Amino acid sequence: MQYLLMIYDDEQNWLNMDESQQGKLIERYIALEEDLKAKGQYVGGARLTEVENATSVRIREGDTLITDGPFAETKEQLGGYFLVECDNLDQATEIAARIPSAEIGTIEVRPLWYQSAAE
């Protein structure tokens, strides 16, 4: 089973940190990634640029509409993700709870489309 762990956090939190705090946070992320890789659970992951760089695209009545900004304006923005391989939801939520941003933001855990659970 693959789960996408979406990291939602207020971008201001990052901007309000000093350099050493930012450095420590990045170290924690790297450590988590290394651990997941060692356990064979890491499929992918990335950090996104600030939401101000987001562009939304939608097609309505044949017209392509391109707008500046994210799909939804919220206090917490999607800042990055991990794609992980797990046996079940409990394992996935366990990893989600180890993502540093879970301490201030929220991690949304979603299984990828159409996979049969380990039977």
Partner 1 sequence: MHQKSQPLEQLYREHSGKMLAYLVSLTNNLSLAEEIWHDTLEAALPLWQSGPPANPIAWLYRVARNKTIDRMRHQKMSLQKGRLVQALAIQDEQEVEPDWDELQFGDEQLKLIFACCHPALDIDKQIPLTLSTICGLNSLQIADALVLQKSTLEQRLTRAKRKLKTAAIPFIIPQQDQLQERLAAVLKTIYLVFNAADQPDNDLDSDHIDLSTEALRLTKNLRNLLPEQPEISGLQALMLFHLARRKARYNSEGQLILLEHQDRTLWDQKAITKADDILRQALSSRKPGSYQIQAAIQGVHCLSKTSEETDWLHIEGLYYLLMEYDANPVIKLNAAVATSMSRDIESALRQIEVCERIPQLQKYSLLYGAKADMYFRLHRFDMAKANYETARSLSNKAVEQEFYSRKIAELESQG
Which stretches of the chain bind partner 1, using CB under 8 A? 1, 86-90, 93, 109, 111, 117-119
Measured from the CB of residue 116, what is the shortest distance to partner 1 in angstroms?
Answer: 9
DSSP-derived 3-state class of residue 113: coil
Where is 16: in which H helix or E strand? none
Beta carbon nearer to partner 1, 18 or 114: 114
Residues forming a β-bridge with 98: none
The bridge status of strand 77-85 relative to strand 2-9 is antiparallel
Measured from the CB of residue 90, what is the shortest distance to partner 1 in angstroms?
Answer: 5
Q: Which two tokens stand for residue 59?
A: 């097609």
Beta carbon nearer to partner 1, 61 or 90: 90
